[in-house]
Amino acid sequence: MAKLSEQEQEKIKDAIEWAEKSTSGEIRVCLEKHCKLDPYQRALECFYDLGMEQTQQKNGVLIYIATEDHKLAILGDEGISKLVPDNFWHSTKDLMIQHFKNGNLAEGISVGVIEAGKQLKKFFPYQDGDANELSDDIVFLS
């Protein structure tokens, strides 16, 4: 897997924290080397393995990346899916892929997280007393 330095990991975590300050949505990033399934199907498995369906508003978002296989999926929970159009995540994915093509994995993830937060804000604005329901740590799978 493309290694992320501690500094790059901190940058991504900071992006998650920043994005979640403008939305009640919960964003997680999951990385693994290889994906033998369709990336959306694998993201769905990871989503439930990580308990992301347990947010109060059903507004969790998983950014899944198989680094060696160059696969990417963004998956929103049912609360999001009920409100947004089918192509909701396409612009975020395109933005991330531009950075990935230039060899900037951490930058692409960070930009994608921030863009996801901006998109979520439209439907799930931050609310006073909003609790951070999911860890902001990057999930690394083998």
75 found inside a domain: yes
132 in any annotated domain: no
Residue 1 belongs to a domain = no
CA–CA distance, 92 with 102 (Å, rounded to integer): 16
pLDDT tens, residue order, the chain (142 aa): 457 999 999 999 999 999 999 999 999 999 999 999 999 999 999 999 999 999 999 999 999 999 999 999 999 999 999 998 888 899 999 999 999 999 999 999 999 999 999 999 999 998 887 888 998 999 999 7
Give me the residue label for tokens 């439907």.
123
Domain that holds residue 75: 6-121
Report the CATH number at residue 19. 3.10.310.50
The count of structural domains within the chain is: 1
Q: How far apart are CA 5 and CA 129, in angstroms?
A: 33
Name, in order, each residue with C-beta under 8 angstroms of 74's C-beta and a sequence gap of 6 or more: 43, 61, 62, 63, 64, 89, 92, 93, 112, 116
pTM above 0.85, yes or no: yes
